[in-house]
Structure formats: C-alpha cells, structure tokens
A and B are shown apart, each in its own frame.
Chain A
Amino acid sequence: MPVSVSRRRTDGEFVKKVRELSGENLQLCYQCGMCSGSCPAASHMDFSPRQVIEMARLGLHEEIVDSKTVWVCATCLACAVACPRGFDLSRLMEAIRLLALRKRADHVRPEDIPVEDREELPQIAMVSGLRKFSG
C-alpha cells in the first residue's frame, strides 16, 4: 500500500488527538510484532496490530478508520500483556474508534441486530458491543 508520509500528517491533529485520548506514547513501539503474534483476531484483520501502531504515528487516519482492524479488535488485551515496551494497544484502538464514533458514524446500530439475537444475547454482549461500536 503506497502512502504519502509528511510532517503535516505525523504532527497533525489526528496523531495529537489519538495521543490525548489513549494516554499512550506511540513512540514506545519498536515494531517487534509481539502484539500481532498474540492477537487472536489477527487473521480477521486487514492490517495487523503492529501495522496499526505504525500507521497511527504516521498519521494515516483515513486508512486506519476505513480498515477492518479496529472494528475487529475485541479488547482482549493479549497484546497489552505481551508487549515488552508496556504499550497498551487496546487504548490506541479505542481512541481510533472513538474519533469515528464521536462524529455520529455508528459502526453498529441496535436496530441492525436481529430481534431474535437481541433476545438471546447476554446483556454483557449487548452493552459492551454497543459501547464499543456506537457513539
């Protein structure tokens, strides 16, 4: 995927907001890939967890939000436990999701969930799913 990297993007509003919302220092990552190796959802993703960190610090906002990766993450924290640098990737994933959700771009709406599933799903699934995927 060819991308254009510029100071305007790496120092831009997206990187600043992601840093503020997540409270994480993106420069901690040295791209070892332990996060991708431990992620049980990696095979469902288009960009690996490791790539998402690199894309975030390059300021590739649209590319990340349009990808499946942040929406496939189940916040299981396997990456956070595996990271030798103490970087909590779950917070970065959340920050990227929220930047989209706070613009009223819901990823899942309650009415999209079939009625029979709504009746059957445990409450913790409904509440957590809608917390993560709607604004």
Chain B
Amino acid sequence: MQLAYYPGCTLKTKARNLEEPAVASLEALGFRLEEIDRWNCCGAVYSLADDDLIHQVAPVRNLIRVKEQGNDRVVILCSFCLNALKRANLLMKGDAEKRDTLNRFMDEELDYGGEVKVLHLLEVLRDEIGWENLAAKVEQPLRGLKLAPYYGCTLLRPREVAIDDVENPTVLQEFLGALGATPVFFPESTRCCGSYQVVSNPGDIPGYARDILSSAVMSGAEGLVLTCPLCDYDLGKGQDELVKKEGFKGMPLFYFTQLLALALGLNPGVAHFELNYGSPEAFLRERGLLS
C-alpha cells in the first residue's frame, strides 16, 4: 500500500536515524512511502495569534501538495511537523473566514478545506497494521529490554490533535510490547524537555533533562524511547552535560523507528545508531541484539 509522506527539514539532515529506519520498516511491512513533491518547512510551531495568518501559509501549502497529488492522507514522523500540520488542518476545516482568506492568498493552488487526514506513523502502526500483526512480523524480539517511552508534548497536546489520551497515553507502551520489549511506565513521560528554550536559555536544558531522565532511571528503565528530534537533542545534550559534570549515569536514547527496524530484523545499518546519544550500540551488543 502506498502512503503519502511529509518528511520535514530535520529528518533529512539531523535525524536520519529517525527517518531511514522508518522508511525501511514500512517497506518491510508492505507499505511504500511516497514523499510528496515540493514540500516546504512546516514552520515548526503553530501560530497562536489570532491575527497571524501569514504563518499558516507554510503548513497549509504542504497539505495542498498532498491533495494535489491525489492523496487523502499523509503520514508524518516528526512530532513538530505533525503538530503544525494537524493544527493548520483543523484551522482550515473549522474557520470559514480564515480558510477563505488563506485560499484567496494562495491563488495558484487548489482551494483547500482540511480534507487531508494527517497521521503520525504510530497511528498507522496501531490503527492500520495493528499490534498483533506487527508482533507477528517481529524477527528479533527485543526481549529483556526495559525501555521507558517518552512522549514529549507535541504528539499529545493540545487535546484536539492528540494521537492518544492526553494524560495517560499508551500507544508507545503497546508498540514496545509488540516488539517484545518491556515498557516501563515513568511519571515524567509527557513532561516537556525544554523544547526551543535550548536556543534562548541553553543553560536551563540540563535541568529539564535531569527531571525526565532521573524519573526514568528510578522507574527501572535502561533506555529511553523517543519520537521527536528536538527531545532527542535536548535530552541527549542535557544528559551528556549531566554525565560530565554530575557523574550522572547515562542511558541510551532510541528513536522508536530504530527499535522497529531492529525488531523486524532489518540490516542494523539502516538504523544509524551511531548518530544517537547515550551509546546505544554498546548496550545492544551487550544484549545480543547487535553483532
């Protein structure tokens, strides 16, 4: 089955270890990702000011590209892009006046009214493939790995774009269970990593990382599972700093797509573990999951 795919800027450069294992895994599961033509930056954050329509143009244009190519849905891997596109889609669906203004502004494009369904890869795995079917495709179960799923903010908030329950999400736990790993609940799994504060207040970031990572450690986790490239950067860099300055015992950070590729028995090169924080390769070798 073919799926329209919006990658976003970060996946093509800094987060190839999120993208490449996802593309390979979906192929192994019988899907083909078709990257949409002429996609542009999503704007990264959704505009919250009522009078600021110009910043809605970038995400809406991407949705129009999906529609232009004859698709009625698009799959996204980056949590920031997902949030920006889902919220812009809701605006186009629900606000007739703003929809009209935006459509008139983009006069060369097709008129758009929020017709495209915006999906995160975890939604495709849960709702279209199903956990039982996914478990049946696992070649190398991640048995014995105690992993803490970290959701961050943008997959879950605001409520109207959440891919799961906003306060008690389970989709990542279920995903890890299907791969044969042991999901570890920890209380800070939906707490913000500091996000773009890394640009303005980088000194605060290790504090956010300490709150999240120490909660995962105290809950018995051996590794953290992420979906978002900015969480990866903030927690990874923050952890490096804590290890250096405070003797913090670090843990490997994984993207969920890397674990998917590993469990499906794909060539581990596709996961690019060498790009991760927290030395996951040594950890996986020790567990006999990587040669």
Interface residues of A (CB under 8 A from B): 20-23, 40-41, 43-44, 71-72, 74-78, 80-81, 88, 90-91, 94-95, 98, 107-108, 113, 117, 121-133
Contacts and interface: CB of A to CB of B under 8 A. Distances in A.
Nearest to A114: B202
B51 interface: yes
Contacts of B192: 40-41, 74, 76, 78
B55 interface: yes
Nearest to A20: B50
Nearest to B51: A21
A129 B51 contact: no
A121 B233 contact: yes
A23 B50 contact: yes
A120 B51 CA distance: 33
A71 B200 contact: yes
9 contacts: A41-B204, A72-B197, A76-B153, A108-B200, A122-B15, A123-B14, A127-B41, A127-B43, A129-B200
Interface of B: 8-10, 13-15, 41, 43-45, 48-52, 55, 78, 80-81, 153, 156-159, 166-167, 190-192, 194-202, 204, 207-208, 211, 229-230, 232-233
Q: Is the interface of A mostly helix, strand, loop or mixed?
A: helix
A98 B198 CA distance: 20
B158 A80 contact: yes
Given A91-B48, A122-B229, A124-B44, A81 B157 contact: yes
Contacts of A133: 199-200
B45 A74 contact: no
Given A22-B50, A123-B10, A76 B166 contact: no
Contacts of A94: 48-49
Task: Please list the 6 inter-chain residue pairs (A to B) with the smallest Cβ-Cβ separation, ordered nearest first.
Answer: A129-B199, A76-B192, A77-B157, A94-B48, A127-B44, A74-B195
A98 B52 CA distance: 10
A130 B44 CA distance: 10
Contact of A81 (B10, B14, B48, B167): B167
B50 A21 contact: yes
Given A124-B80, A131-B55, 8 more contacts: A74-B153, A74-B195, A76-B157, A95-B48, A122-B10, A124-B44, A125-B230, A131-B43
A129 B44 CA distance: 9
A95 B159 CA distance: 21
Given A22-B49, A122-B14, A124-B78, A129 B196 contact: yes
Contacts of B166: 81
Contacts of A74: 153, 192, 194-197
Given A44-B204, A122-B229, A131-B45, A81 B199 contact: no
Contacts of A20: 50-51
B200 to A, nearest CB: 5
Nearest to B232: A122
A77 B158 contact: yes
Contacts of A132: 45, 196
Contacts of A78: 153, 157, 190-192
A126 B50 contact: no
A84 B198 CA distance: 30
B199 A113 contact: yes
Contacts of B199: 108, 113, 121, 125-126, 128-130, 133
B253 to A, nearest CB: 14
Nearest to A21: B49
Contacts of A126: 199
A131 B48 contact: no
A127 B229 CA distance: 13
Contacts of B202: 117
